[in-house]
Amino acid sequence: MARQMMVRCANCGVQFPAAVESIVDAGRDPEAKLRLLGGALNAVQCSNCGYQMAIGAPVLYHDASKELLIGFVPPELNLSNDQQEKALGDLMRELTNQIPKEQFKGYLFQPRRALTLQGLIEQVLGADGVTPEMIETQKARARLIERLMETPEHALKQVIAENDALIDGAFFQTMNLMAQRLAGSGAVAAAEQILMVQARITEESSYGRQAMARAQAEEALVQEVADEVEALGEDADRPEFLALALRYRDDESRLRALVGLARPVFDYAFFQDMTAEISRAPAAERDGLERLRETLLTLAQEVDQQTQAAVRAAAQLLQQVINAPDIDEAIQRIGPLIDSTFLSVLDANLQQAQRNGDQALLQRLSYVYQQVNAMIEQTMPPALRFINDLLATETDEDASALLDAHAREHADDLLPTIDAVEGVLAQRGESDLLRKLVFLRALAERILL
């Protein structure tokens, strides 16, 4: 729950409007909780000089699912006890006005207090089952990342080897989050440096090498499934895909790859047909078929959730850009986060603004579109730009036609660049894009080799 207020820049002294969040309701706005835990709550940037600062404001944290209510007043506000109680009381009234009376519980009348922002975060994490030991482990990861960032290139291998036991999936996830936050705050060069060091850690650490091996194994499996899907032919319909799913029924990895490669096939009509098949099957086979149906439904939902999450994130990013006082600066700040999903969301918003006749919004979106494409043209190597275009295609037929037309223009760089992009996608866990890229690589090989 944010409200607009005028704040004065600590660097240049200019006043500018900023959105300040004083109530963090985890149930209503999970993103606000993430901003709090990530240190981004009430972090603003001066519209005049670009200086970044945190606004000190009273905060009331609420999580109904955990019956948790915590008040925090920053010490730097120098409020008396009475003033603190009034500030939190006002926030309490604002919060409770939005809660139905039948949902009132005792915890709402006995809020906890946090003396520091870190104390507030630790109480929230504690309610989520995160222990002080786990928090200290995360701090140790952050310290190691800072050390690696400061280590000269020639000494990185030794430092990585000395800390090999501390490098795991959570460590890489922490690096990714740090890079995203830096990029989002405008520190693009620092974000890129983190990703470069992360690539070196992937090569030199035990966990990184294992992750690369897993990615290669997954790539090989996805390729096998892609070959079988292609062998079905262009006219393959639901019965053929059901037969393939039946062959994979005992191998969830192959089922996952199949659904990821051919998600549109697994629609409502597919599951209707499958239900009919189950009803006609011998009684001894029905339990197994029903389990397969549930597995396919779950995998389809997972693919949809991943897609929806990516679209939501891209939409939020786009809103930040079009609402920014300086669109050019905002685009540069989010540069590393621009991907095919962002471009698709931008295109969809352009079309919607055009249909609605919203000329002001259409003008801003069109400018964003022009500037984003100009930035991509300037920063992407030709082969990488071509791969981005391929990933943005809507159908396999579109991708195939684009490859046929232009793959030879990038003959020397295309396959090595695809391999490099595969490694990045595998490390980030972007399985949907990875599966599509495996399919594209197979097509490119047939054209170029």
pLDDT tens, position by position, 112-167? 999 999 899 989 998 888 888 888 888 899 899 999 999 999 999 999 999 999 99
Better-predicted residue by pLDDT, 240 or 51? 240
**Range 221-244 average pLDDT:** 89
Question: What pLDDT score does 1 carry?
Answer: 59
Asked whether the CA dihedral 310, 313, 316, 322 is positive or negative, the reply is negative
Return all residues near 9 (Cβ < 8 A) that are at least 6 apart.
15, 16, 46, 48, 49, 51, 53
CA-wise closest residue to 426 among 263, 221, 266:
221
Region 28-54: mean pLDDT is 82
Q: How far apart (Å, rounded) are the C-alpha atoms in residues 260 and 246?
A: 16
Q: How far apart are CA 44 and CA 17, in angstroms?
A: 10
pLDDT of res. 115: 92
- Please name every residue paired with 218 in a beta bridge, in sequence order, or none if there are none: none
Q: How far apart are CA 388 and CA 370, in angstroms?
A: 17
Give the CB-side neighbour count of residue 390, counting CA atoms within 13 A.
32
> DSSP string of 53-104?
EE----EEEEEGGGTEEEEE--GGG---HHHHHHHHHHHHHHHHTTS-GGG-
Cβ neighbours for 1, distance < 8 A, ≥ 6 positions apart: 21, 22, 23, 24, 25, 29, 32, 94
Q: Which residue from 200, 151, 214, 213 is spatially nearest to 172, judged by alpha carbons?
A: 200
pLDDT band at 204 (very low <50, low <70, confident <90, very high): very high
pLDDT in tens, 407-424: 888 888 888 888 878 777
Q: What is the pLDDT of residues 49-101, one digit of tens each?
A: 777 788 889 999 999 989 999 999 999 999 999 999 999 999 999 998 888 88
- Average pLDDT estimate for 427-435: 70
Look at strands 52-54 and 43-45 and give their pairing.
antiparallel
Are residues 406 and 386 in contact, defined by beta-carbon separation less than 8 angstroms?
yes
Enclosing H/E stretch for 18: strand 15-21
Domain boundaries of the chain, sorted by first residue: 2-129, 133-204
Chain-wide mean pLDDT for the chain?
87
Burial 311-325 (b: 16+ CB within 10 A, else e): eebbbebbeebeebe
Q: Give me the sign of the Cα torsion angle 99, 105, 108, 114.
A: negative
Q: How confident is the model at residue 71, as a pLDDT?
A: 94
Pairing of strands 59-63, 68-72: antiparallel
C-alpha distances out from residue 146 to 121, 186, 190, 337, Å: 21, 19, 11, 22
Number of C-beta neighbours around residue 98 at 10 A? 11
pLDDT at 167: 94
200-207 average pLDDT score = 93
Q: What pLDDT was estimated at residue 284?
A: 92
Task: Report the pLDDT value the prediction gives residue 255, as an integer from 0 to 100.
Answer: 95
pLDDT value of position 383: 84
pLDDT of the residue at 272: 93
Arithmetic mean of pLDDT, 174-183: 78
What confidence tens digit (pLDDT) does each residue in 4-17 have? 888 888 888 888 88
How high is the pLDDT of residue 274? 93
Q: Decide: residue 126, CB within 10 A, 0-12 exposed, 13-18 middle, 19+ buried.
A: middle
Angle at 195 between CA 306 and CA 368, to 5 degrees: 65
Structure-token match 């482990």, residue found: 137
**CA torsion through residues 76, 81, 82, 87, sign:** positive
Single-letter amino acid, residue 130: V
